[in-house]
Amino acid sequence: MQQYDRNNIFARIIRGEIPCHKVYEDAQTLAFMDVMPQARGHVLVIPKCEAVELTDVPQDYLIAVFSAAKKIIGAQRKVLHRDGIVQLQLSGEQAGQSVFHYHIHLIPGHIHELGKHESVAADQAQLAQLAAQLRAELA
């Protein structure tokens, strides 16, 4: 089992040390655009607690993560005009997890249309614009 690293990129994003294109935030969760998206509109939802994988996440944070994901999926469908949203969670290095802070990927599109995980960086201006559109839909 992977130990939690308080300096992982998501922990640093939560603390405001690294910027992100925020889509949604509440007391227990943060959702932001994936900077290496598998498809346009790829959003990550994370709990604001120290957790590497699902079994580490306290129950109230799990409820908050899935509640946030549900809202974001609705916004993705409206803004991106896509019914299909791949909901993906990789748990452990052998499963492909590369940031060891629990997170859910919400990826608009069909599974066969997706690009390779962490292969191409997105245009930052396009991410900022899309994050703003999603935030507006959530408001």
Domain at 9-138: CATH code: 3.30.428.10
Q: Annotated active-site positions, please?
A: 103
**Cα–Cα distance, 10 to 125 (Å, whole number):** 21
Task: Return the domain boundaries, the chain.
Answer: 9-138
Look up residue 138 and give its amino acid: L
**Cα–Cα distance, 17 to 45 (Å, whole number):** 18
**Cα–Cα distance, 93 to 90 (Å, whole number):** 8
Q: How far is CA 138 from CA 45, 51, 64, 80, 96, in A?
A: 14, 26, 15, 13, 30
| pLDDT tops 90 at residue 1 | no
What is residue 114's predicted lDDT score, i.e. its pLDDT? 72
Give per-residue pLDDT as tens, 88-137. Answer: 999 989 988 999 999 999 999 877 777 777 778 889 999 999 999 999 99
Global pTM? Answer: 0.91
Give per-residue pLDDT as tens, 45-96. Answer: 999 999 999 999 999 999 999 999 999 999 999 999 999 999 999 998 998 8
What is residue 55's predicted lDDT score, i.e. its pLDDT? 95
Bridge-partner residues for 106, per DSSP? 43, 87
What is residue 121's predicted lDDT score, i.e. its pLDDT? 87
**Cα–Cα distance, 69 to 63 (Å, whole number):** 10
